[in-house]
Amino acid sequence: MTRPPYLFAPPEPVSLPIRGSNMRYPIRRIFCVGRNYHAHAIEMGNPVDKATMEPFYFLKDASSAVESGATVAYPPGTRNYQFELELVVAIGAAGFRVSEADAEGLIYGYCAGLDMTRRDLQFKARDQGRPWDLGKNFEHAAVFTEIVPRANPGVLAAGAISLQVNGETRQCSDLSKMIWSIPELLADLSKFYHLAPGDLILTGTPEGVGPVLPGDRIDGHIEGVGTLELHIGAADGA
Ligand code: MN
C-alpha cells in the first residue's frame, strides 16, 4: 500500500558540511546546555554549585540552523539580541543511558556554534517561570560551522574559545573551564533522551555575552575546531 501524497512538499532536512568529505551532516535535534562556565553563570546572576546542581537543557528547532558566513536579519520582538559562542558536539551513534566511559563512542565530531538569544525575552520568561522558547528558539537562532570529524581519542577537554564583534574581543576563555565535561553531559542528557545521529549539543558559553546591532559582524574561533562568521542585517521587516 502506498501512502497518500503529502499536502505540500515536506521541508528538506537542514544539514551542515563536513570537513574533508563530500557528504553533509543532517541535523535531527539541537540541544543546548544552560550554564556550563562559572563566569557566565555568575554574569547571568545564577552561580552554579556542581556538588548540588545538575546541568539543564533547552532545545532549538533544527529549522533554526544557519551556516557560518550567513547574513541574518535582526530578529523580531527584541531590543537585546545577543551572541553566545559554544563548542558543539555532533552525535554520530545512538546512545541511551550511556556511561561517561562510553560517551566518546557517540561523538562523530565537533563544530563551533552560536546560541543566538533574544535576551530580553529570555529574562522575561525566566523571571515569570515560563518556557524560554521565545528567547532561544526562533528563526536563524543557531549558527554552525562545518563539522570536523573527531580525532582518536576524541573527547575535547581544552582549547581556546574566543569571539569578536567588529574586531573587538568580547569572549575569551578555554574549553577546560566547562563545569560539566563532554562525557558528563552526554551521560546526563542520555538519561532523558535516546541520543541519535544528527543530534547536536551546544555545550554552553563562556562569559562576555552581549548585544549586537544591524551592521555588526561576529567572528568566533574554537581552537582545533573552526572559525565562525555571522553578519547582522537590517531588522526583520524593516
Ligand atoms: Mn547558550
| Nearest of 86, 32, 81 to residue 207 by alpha carbon | 86
φ/ψ (deg, to 5) at 204: 100, 160
Mean of all residue pLDDT scores within the chain: 97
Q: Over 80: is that where the pLDDT of 238 sits? A: no
Q: How many Å lie between the centroid of ligand 1 and the Cα of residue 96?
A: 24
Backbone region of residue 224 per phi and psi (left: phi > 0; alpha: psi in -120 to 50; beta: other values)? left
pLDDT digits (tens, 9 = 90+) for 2-52: 899 999 999 999 999 999 999 999 999 999 999 999 999 999 999 999 999
CATH architecture of the domain with residue range 15-235: Alpha-Beta Complex (3.90)
pLDDT digits (tens, 9 = 90+) for 61-73: 999 999 999 999 9
Domain edges within the chain: 15-235
Q: How many Å lie between the centroid of ligand 1 and the Cα of residue 182?
A: 15
**1 vs 4: CA distance, rounded Å:** 9
Q: Over 80: is that where the pLDDT of 142 sits? A: yes
Q: Which three cell numbers stand for residue 168?
A: 573587538
**Rounded to a whole number, what is the distance in angstroms from the first to the last CA of the chain?**
49
pLDDT digits (tens, 9 = 90+) for 62-118: 999 999 999 999 999 999 999 999 999 999 999 999 999 999 999 999 999 999 999
Using 50, 70 and 90 to split pLDDT, how confident is the model at 237?
confident
Angstrom distances, CA of residue 100 to CA of 96, 97, 196, 234: 12, 10, 16, 44
Angstrom distances, CA of residue 187 to CA of 3, 16, 76, 98, 183: 38, 25, 36, 5, 6
Q: How many Å lie between the centroid of ligand 1 and the Cα of residue 140?
A: 14
Q: How many Å lie between the centroid of ligand 1 and the Cα of residue 117?
A: 8
Q: How many Å lie between the centroid of ligand 1 and the Cα of residue 1?
A: 45
Higher-scoring residue by pLDDT: 104, 1:
104
Pairing of strands 217-222, 142-144: unpaired
Q: Over 80: is that where the pLDDT of 206 sits? A: yes
Q: How many Å lie between the centroid of ligand 1 and the Cα of residue 4?
A: 41
